[in-house]
Structure 1
């Protein structure tokens, strides 16, 4: 025992005693300190040299470009963003604010071409985009009319070579109620960027309303990051991390053999469905407590349970599940609009019948290893591990776990308006099934909402409902008795 062991034990106990709100506050403070330290020690990303012309894609963009190319007419990689605006909205001010935001951020004025199969991006001075206005006050069933229009906007594909790669529609449903719909191609954005985009829009609207000049463009644009990432400094770091990531995944099974209702089609279509469930307050509290005891996170517990389900369904012990990451490791990228989304792979050995707590510790360790490789482009990992894309399967990994907190959906008051983000309905999520099975969990504070998004080419809805029922039953039993030994289905 070292001299400071008692102090570390006491600190661990203090952390375990924190409430979820206190722990979240501490995590934010530590993250801010880490970012502040990184700003002092990490060389800044420089703006690219001036001049027009084709520019390279970032690795995240290249991944999206390949996925779009495999299904250019589909809607799998469209990102719908919808907000309700209550109050005295002035459409002419909104239109001007929207133009200001597009002018400030090059990524919203970017298109994508290719030469001999190699993609490039072009930044344009004017994308020719405007906010389309529709007055639905006389439409009869206004709610149905809005839903139909939003579904239409979210389903129309884009030609990446022709801009703009987003659509903006303002729907008036009452004298003081509007719905603003933005549909962007994923090659332009990610989850964090959609929040940033809303914040920029609010700022621009307030400036226009009060006669202030538009805000200056940011120091760094997304294309600057792409050029830097492809340069020696950015690529050199990734090369070392890529070697480590490939070493972890070499030898993994080509697929998780899940019993499906139909054979796999020649190519994934993205056609899907979604079923949902709720984690009640008692179970959610126990899950959080278990995570605190093991210095883990909620998503690690959810992932461990999902891997057990996949082991039981497939009869395989070597289980790898993908997880999304923000991909913004450099402090200069916190406020940049663009596609930084990346994927990591968590591979675990589920052989034997250990206690769930023991498996959770392994999952935690494997997650931390995967997070260390979060800057490694997933496309590079796919190529290195599989030596080419499998046309009839999603690349490398067929399952995913996604975890998010609901804070992004809170209303915002500004300029006499109330802006309320509208969550994507299940039908829209279903239209973008990017894996065979994806468990989505949303922390709602005292409870959590679970959604299982499934590939409808493989599974019927009834099968998906059975899978989700099994997952929630496993979650309940394992979290309530984490020291009980795991059982295996008979014959496996």
Structure 2
């Protein structure tokens, strides 16, 4: 059933503005389900979990035209003009003026000093939280390194743009720039796109029909499958230390993994779930646990061109009893993922909240009952947010060390022994850039920080209870695994990477 069909049959408590062709300025709208997590993080920790894109531009660039194009895209995408409430997960569109693009000419600086300056500013833009009540929700800065070489840094709060939305924004930015530079007409003028408010209405309509069924499914599906607990010898004990590592695929193992996926009629993400499940089993000794499969959520009609976060999280239970062979484990992953697909279009926090409850089994029952009661009251007090009754409880129960670190991050909360393991496949891992025309004045590439630059320690992280594994591409365009986490110490991250490389080689060898 399409999003537009859902919208037509949705009971709309907000008036016609909620599902109109374009969101109206000044009208209060609920946040989408994928926005809820980032609203909660911002409200409780003050972190807006920013996303960033750094683009190296070679050729004759017109900074004034680039600034004009950025202003046009902000006007085109209402979500970038959203003011998001601190006290309730709601948003309203506000008028904004033209966008001022800061510009720094570094052509007189030594190359290493100029690169370090770009890195310092990019790190500051990424680390500094946005004021979500003051749109536009976009930061940008342009640097000139040489007369024909620039770097553009774009930064968004995650609550308005996930990785796929940032990818879409960059595509539209350069498409629009090139057309206007040639004197062509406005490329996005008159284009009809599904408004993000229509998607939100669709989500609420589906929950009214299937919410109870979805909750029952996730309780059955995840019963007895907690997050795996790692030995303390692998976990940071006193303070958070961020690890950020890139892992190359041994030899031709990536191509072999693709072959395995085709042979077993599974996705590459399912292959990674099974492979990482074997790593977790060896490090923890656990026989029943869950991993998170992070999905783009852009398979619904109209969503592929929507500037909004649409991520879905699917906990996948793994049963490692009886030491299943890799093909057997892969078949198990496939069956459980396909079974869950019918229930994935639910509130983001619902399946993760079911997982979180398992961390609280030894906590005072009165406290958990109080949290659920407060959640119900909060939902009733915020009707415009269109929340489900367990919304606040599900997020509060996600605290990794209940209940002592519920309202503040204490030093002991740095070492989370049962982290959430998220497996993501990013856009650049499987989408090739369209070739530029012969008369294209610009050559674009990802600007990556040179290894020789000074490193900056990251003292804290809103995902200090998570291990994030991204399938992405290197500067040379080759597939790599990017691992970020705060919970592992040096021994833990080395053991994790070594076991991953061993499993990659083993699976590739078996497929040969």
Contact 2:137 2:156 in 1 (8 A): yes
1:92-491 correspondence runs (5 A): 92-114=64-86, 117-126=87-96, 129-141=99-111, 142-209=114-181, 210=183, 212-213=185-186, 215-216=189-190, 218-230=192-204, 232-233=205-206, 235-253=208-226, 255-262=228-235, 272-385=242-355, 386=357, 388-392=396-400, 398-404=420-426, 405-408=428-431, 410=433, 413=436, 415-422=440-447, 434=463, 435-442=465-472, 448-455=479-486, 458-481=487-510
Contact 2:25 2:95 in 1 (8 A): no
Q: Deviations over 1:348-374 (max 9, x none)?
A: 110112322211211221222233333
Q: Distance in 1 between matches of 2:457 and 2:425?
A: 15
What is the CA distance between 1:274 and its match in structure 2? 1.7
What is the CA distance between 1:185 and its match in structure 2? 0.2
Q: Which residue does 1:68 correspond to in 2?
A: 42
Distance 1:211 1:293, change over 3 A: closer
Contact 1:276 1:452 in 2 (8 A): yes
Distance 1:239 1:58, change over 3 A: farther
Q: Which residue does 1:31 correspond to in 2?
A: none
TM-score norm. by structure 1 comes to 0.78
Q: Which residue does 1:43 correspond to in 2?
A: 5
What is the CA distance between 1:186 and its match in structure 2? 0.4
Q: Distance in 1 between matches of 2:493 and 2:106?
A: 37
Q: Give the secondary structure class of the aligned counterpart of 2:502.
A: helix
Q: Give the secondary structure class of the aligned counterpart of 1:131.
A: coil
What is the CA distance between 1:432 and its match in structure 2? 6.1
Q: Distance in 1 between matches of 2:444 and 2:477?
A: 24
What is the CA distance between 1:341 and its match in structure 2? 1.1
What is the CA distance between 1:378 and its match in structure 2? 2.3
Q: Distance in 2 between matches of 1:96 and 1:304?
A: 47
Q: Deviations over 1:15-74 (max 9, x none)?
A: xxxxxxxxxxxxxxxxxxxxxxx77x97274672456321111111112111222321x4
Distance 1:438 1:203, change over 3 A: closer
With 188-197 and 375-384 compared, the bigger mean Cα shift is at 375-384
Contact 1:55 1:227 in 2 (8 A): no
Q: Distance in 1 between matches of 2:245 and 2:184?
A: 48
Q: Distance in 2 between matches of 1:397 and 1:128?
A: 43
Contact 2:6 2:206 in 1 (8 A): no
Distance 1:272 1:373, change over 3 A: farther
Q: Distance in 2 between matches of 1:260 and 1:469?
A: 16
Q: Give the secondary structure class of the aligned counterpart of 1:352.
A: coil
What is the CA distance between 1:129 and its match in structure 2? 3.5
Q: Give the secondary structure class of the aligned counterpart of 2:470.
A: strand
Contact 1:135 1:173 in 2 (8 A): yes
What is the CA distance between 1:436 and its match in structure 2? 3.3
How many residues are paired up?
Answer: 435
Distance 1:70 1:43, change over 3 A: same
Q: Give the secondary structure class of the aligned counterpart of 2:344.
A: coil
Contact 1:412 1:420 in 2 (8 A): no
Contact 2:169 2:307 in 1 (8 A): yes
Q: Give the secondary structure class of the aligned counterpart of 2:136.
A: coil
Distance 1:167 1:260, change over 3 A: farther
TM-score norm. by structure 2 comes to 0.76
Q: Distance in 2 between matches of 1:211 and 1:357?
A: 54
Unaligned runs of 5+ in 2: 9-17, 358-393, 402-415
Distance 1:262 1:383, change over 3 A: closer
Unaligned runs of 5+ in 1: 1-37, 484-492
Contact 2:243 2:485 in 1 (8 A): yes
Q: Distance in 2 between matches of 1:195 and 1:262?
A: 34
Contact 1:322 1:344 in 2 (8 A): yes
Q: Distance in 2 between matches of 1:137 and 1:166?
A: 26
